[in-house]
Chain A
Amino acid sequence: MTTSLADVASSNVTLRTFLHGLPGVDRVGADQRAAMLGTRSIKTTAKAEAIDLAIRMVDLTTLEGADTPGKVRAMCAKAVHPDPGDPSVPKVAAVCVYPDLVAQAVDALKGSGVKVASVATSFPSGRSSLDVKTTETAFAVAAGADEIDMVIDRGAFLAGDYVKVFEEIVAIKAACGAAHLKVILETGELSTYDNVRRASWLAMLAGGDFIKTSTGKVQPAATLPVTLIMLEAVRDFLATTGRKVGVKPAGGIRTTKDAVKMLVLVNETVGEGWLSPDWFRLGASTLLNDLLMQRQKMATGRYAGPDYFTLD
């Protein structure tokens, strides 16, 4: 591995040499390790803590063409009081909306401590000019977004034009100002685990504060092995550069079991340092209700039903 990372991005050749010099991913090994960690049994008090931690890590997301200001306000209310009948339920980490609805979300969440994240850069495809992308980012930040979820240019990445991807992330990072930048790799379109590892390093080298698996619009989304590879990348990146980067799996995490598996993966791969909403997030919409149902089951001793939680 290159000793000085400063000039890695000086040209496409050096960047390519570096990224392709990363050790390859053992696909079978990664799948098996993720599957093995997924069999861990988390029960009773540990499960109760895991559920609360998972709720605190949720980025409650609505990214539909049909989103209305009313729907965003309702979701923000849920973000602050996930279960109105139980004040002991913690708040979620953030809500995630489209840029034009950031203002509504900021207004609804004022003073609550829940952050507002906005997707940007022609989400979900990322197919537009850099100007449009930076303008959209600046628009979301001006509206009050605390975090920006950008998508990388998968077309350029797959074509081997790593510098283009790199420079785009740098430009968006600059447009973010004080806002945190999450870089969506859209692993479902990257074909191989090797590409996931390369894209992770590329995003971190370019200055991303978080790396995020998916937009949620492409299947497969946040699988366990892909999350494992990204966690290994942030661990190695910290060891190499001293900078800590967060990870956000998003899309396809629907049950408490899925979420707890993710937490086990974090603990076993990068350790407790990442077991906090500052460093690990779960992008989800339906997951929250399942977490609440499991929480209620643990509190009351009987299985909960979806009739008693909000439809969203």
Chain B
Amino acid sequence: MSKTERPSRARASAELAAEGPGERAQSRDSVRLAVRKTYKLYIGGAFPRSESGRSYVVTSSKGDFLANASKASRKDARDAVTAARKAFGGWSGATPYNRGQILYRVAEMLESRRAQFVAELSESGTKKAGEVVDAAVDRLVWYAGWADKIAAVTGSTNPVAGPYFNISSPEPTGVVAVVAPDEPLLGLISVIAPVIVTGNTCVVIASERAPLPSITLAEVLATSDLPAGVVNILTGSVKEIAPWLAAHMDVNALDLTGVGDENLAITCEEAAAENLKRVFRPTGADWSADPGTRRLTAFLETKTVWHPTGA
């Protein structure tokens, strides 16, 4: 196409737009039905509906209808644990470097969906949503950096009274059940990232009040090279699902960050005692503050090996 042709074409289309047909197109636009998104669960890398077929209405902070979210049942929780267990071998066996790269990739994908998250967070009543999304991306990058450093910080070579090397190194605990806080994105990222960066896999119960950003986050995870099953996200009633996860014999640790109800927390702690799960129940969380390594070390266990020096 030559340069001289361009202006005339542009002019022609501008004239066309100013005429009647343009108005007709506009009125057609106004009757176009919105494409409503179906929010489902995220289990084993797939997006299934709840096995129970149930859903619940999610409203904006002003009380307007936003969407129907799946209401997960205990069987969905069981399936999620199975998926997390299946993923554990590969994920915990991946090199820390590789896990860090994948978390960084999640941050990249989150960044590219910034506008969508800002819109969803604003609807659910989050103030300064833009800053929150930025903080969430930064938090992911921050935890990604820890992947190949945490062992150097928490591991040690121990002086022993014999001709041996004695080395302690942190190992992932296994499948971690997480009750996410009522902080749709930053809080969610802040509980998931430290669990998985060290090689654990997790089943997350999203915020009951504002579950939609968590499923959008699942779409980010599904397109970020994160192996299926490493993160599984359930939406629904915390009170209904959490005790089942706390009692599940194939769950190795429990993060009760998002459990506000004191009685429910005690019920979960009691159930968790049955197979000696690690239970993490922090009090008072300021998600904008520097998180420190507390959440990383909460789901690590120390392996100590003796090794003859030889010679």
Contacts and interface: CB of A to CB of B under 8 A. Distances in A.
A308 B78 CA distance: 17
B154 interface: no
Contacts, number: 26
Contacts of A308: 249
Interface string A272-312: 00000000000000000000000000000111111110000
A37 to B, nearest CB: 20
B274 interface: yes
Contacts of B78: 303
Nearest to B248: A303
B148 interface: no
A83 B271 CA distance: 23
21 contacts: A301-B247, A302-B247, A302-B248, A302-B249, A303-B78, A303-B81, A303-B244, A303-B247, A303-B249, A303-B250, A304-B249, A304-B250, A305-B248, A305-B249, A305-B251, A305-B275, A306-B85, A306-B250, A307-B249, A307-B250, A308-B249
Contacts of B81: 303
A238 B250 CA distance: 46
Interface in B235-267: 244, 247-251
A306 B85 CA distance: 10
B303 to A, nearest CB: 17
Contacts of A307: 249-250
B129 to A, nearest CB: 38
A307 B175 CA distance: 13
Nearest to A304: B249
Contacts of A301: 247
Given A303-B81, A305-B248, A306-B250, 13 more contacts: A302-B244, A302-B248, A302-B271, A302-B274, A303-B78, A303-B244, A303-B248, A304-B250, A305-B249, A305-B250, A305-B251, A306-B85, A307-B250
Contacts of B271: 302
Interface string B26-58: 000000000000000000000000000000000
Name the interface size band of chain B: 10 to 19
A304 B248 CA distance: 6
Name the interface size band of chain A: under 10
Contacts of A306: 85, 250
Interface of A: 301-308
Nearest to A301: B247
Nearest to B78: A303
B271 to A, nearest CB: 7
Contacts of B250: 303-307
A289 to B, nearest CB: 12
* Residue of A301, A305, A307 with most chain B CB atoms under a 10 A cut-off: A305
B13 to A, nearest CB: 55
* Residue of A302, A304, A307, A308 with most chain B CB atoms under a 10 A cut-off: A302
Interface in B64-98: 78, 81, 85
B34 to A, nearest CB: 35
The 9 closest A-B pairs by CB, nearest first: A305-B250, A305-B249, A302-B247, A303-B248, A304-B249, A303-B78, A308-B249, A303-B249, A302-B249
Nearest to B81: A303
Nearest to B250: A305
A44 B135 CA distance: 49
Contacts of B251: 305
A304 B250 CA distance: 7
B52 to A, nearest CB: 13
* Residue of B271, B274, B275 with most chain A CB atoms under a 10 A cut-off: B275
A308 B275 CA distance: 10
Contacts of B85: 306
A41 to B, nearest CB: 12
Nearest to A306: B250
A208 to B, nearest CB: 38
* Residue of B249, B250, B275 with most chain A CB atoms under a 10 A cut-off: B249
A306 B244 CA distance: 16
Contacts of B248: 302-303, 305
B35 to A, nearest CB: 32
A32 B274 CA distance: 43
A306 B78 CA distance: 13
Contacts of A305: 248-251, 275
Nearest to A308: B249
A301 B248 CA distance: 10
Interface string B274-294: 110000000000000000000
A256 B2 CA distance: 71
